[in-house]
A and B are shown apart, each in its own frame.
Chain A
Amino acid sequence: MQSPLQIQTSLKENILDSENQNIKMQIENLSIFYRDFRAVANVSMTIYAKKIVAIIGPSGCGKSTLLRSFNRMNDLVSGSHIEGQVYLDGEPLYERNVDVVDVRRRIGMVFQRPNPFPKSIYDNVAYGPRLYGVNRKSDLDEIVERSLKQAALWDEVKNKLHQSGLSISGGQQQRLCIARAIAVQPEVILMDEPASALDPISTLKIEELMHEIVKDYTIIIVTHNMQQAARVSNYTAMMMIDEQRAGRMIEFNDTNIIFTNPKDKRTEDYVTGRFG
């Protein structure tokens, strides 16, 4: 008579609701090494298309290392290698015959500090498409306008497209970098602390922009700012360092659950600010 009656609740227990979702990337038992040192250990996760995944965790837990492995940016660091596999649309990325340049076109990246090329705003955005063989001016014009519009920057720069990309504000520069990443029509965009060098208003603009562009792209963001992870992402991965100083993913779940009722005590301590 008095047994507690479980009722429908938004704090559902189930882990990632996989129904009706297309898998964009699959990370399978991935470990990342710098020579003998294992920086990231045994990460497995599924990234759904057109969703935002946030990776959070204390400094030095391997978040950025993990992120950079998703488009093989770590290849540029000598002595780095991986075990496990990363799949994009079911195709393995770490295989001998894979064209790394194409991987990085399909999986773009935006960094912590805005890093426009010392070129005009127009040329910054047109740089990628030109590299991939688009040369006709009308095509480039169209790509530049579309990319800047998607990056919510068009109205602010349309009259000064030929000024230097470095002449605009930091927040605008970061949106220019996003426009540059979008210009080659990637499928996934990796963002490594994209707003940490920006003021609060510029930060909110970037977050709004993420909400806009996620209709067309899959986004994976590394952030130290937990409120940002809570605000922007659909799913959150929590990483932490183990006794061997290797980064491990200790919890991966719906963002609503991570920030209201995490299952792992360490996640709880981190998101409530009692550890980190």
Chain B
Amino acid sequence: MLRKTFETEIKQVKDEVLILGSMVEQAIIGSVDSLKKRDLKASQKILENDKDINKKRFDIEHQLMILIATQQPMAHDLRLLASIMEIISELERMGDYAKGIANINLRMGDQPLLKPLIDIPRMAQKGVDMLHRALTAFINEDLDTARSLPREDDEVDALYNQVYHELMMFVIQDPKSIERANWLLWVAHNLERVADRVTNICERTVFIATGEMVEIQNTDDEFWKQQKNKDV
């Protein structure tokens, strides 16, 4: 087969993306888990691991630059490599969300959680599950999954709204709890953004497979549109 070396190198890069994805998945689950257990050591470890995530992202980027410079990719190959550049950046940002959650746990110090965490771990689980399937769809160029998966962001948004309202109730009942509520709200917000970034990965998969740049709308956009209309 012509271009066997190039094919092998592309496969290697894709494998590296999966490794990066799995590092990010572990970071997200780990960050919420250590918050739930109030395990500061584990959160500290998440912060250290984030450096590895960043390094992995730059390593892949470097590999991509070399492939682009030496292999002059065209058409599907070009779309693939350009999209991987984008996807690794999305993954790295998701890693930052995990790091953000770990930081919150550390900043909380010895203060107890405002409430036991139930929906927040669910959000993390759902987000990671979506990320995992988005990356599988990317590897297999599975258009159906790439197009339908962003819809599941609604579940994460619903959980976020639930957490939000619950925390607001705490604040109303006891305004002194505002800081602790705020911390958890930030955690939930970070997890909500993870799911949003999964949508971006799905859009890239559609682009790789079809060459079409589509923006897959999710209910988030609708929500803000409605809010805006209300304001008017």
Contact = CB atoms under 8 A, between A and B. Distances in A.
Contact of A230 (B74, B76, B77, B212): B74
A11 B212 contact: yes
Contact of B74 (A2, A5, A6, A271): A271
A87 B212 CA distance: 36
Contacts of A261: 75, 79, 211
A7 B215 contact: yes
A262 interface: yes
B216 interface: yes
| Residue among A2, A5, A273 facing the most chain B CB atoms (10 A cut-off) | A2
Contacts of A271: 74-75
Contacts of A260: 74-75, 78-79, 211
Contacts of A273: 2-3, 6, 74
A3 B76 CA distance: 25
Given A227-B72, A259-B78, A261-B75, A1 B3 contact: no
Given A2-B150, A273-B2, A268 B214 contact: no
Given A226-B74, A260-B79, A272-B3, A4 B222 contact: no
A9 interface: yes
Contacts of B147: 4
Given A274-B2, A275-B2, A4 B75 contact: no
A60 interface: no
Interface string B190-232: 0000000000000000100001111111110010000000000
A272 B218 contact: no
A7 B78 CA distance: 20
Interface string A87-123: 0000000000000000000000000000000000000
B157 to A, nearest CB: 12
A276 interface: yes
Given A2-B218, A261-B79, A274-B1, A11 B213 contact: yes
Contacts of B75: 259-262, 267-268, 271-272
B1 A6 contact: no
Contact of A274 (B3, B72, B222): B3
B151 interface: yes
A259 B151 CA distance: 32
A146 B20 CA distance: 59
Contacts of A268: 75-76
B214 A6 contact: yes
Given A2-B216, A260-B78, A260-B79, A272 B211 contact: no
Contacts of A5: 214-217
A226 B77 CA distance: 15
A7 B214 contact: yes
A80 B151 CA distance: 62
Interface of A: 1-7, 9, 11, 226-227, 230, 259-262, 267-268, 271-276
Which 9 residue pairs spanning A and B have beta carbons closest together? A261-B211, A9-B213, A271-B74, A4-B214, A2-B151, A273-B3, A259-B74, A268-B75, A5-B215
10 contacts: A1-B222, A2-B219, A5-B217, A6-B214, A9-B213, A11-B212, A260-B79, A272-B74, A273-B2, A275-B2
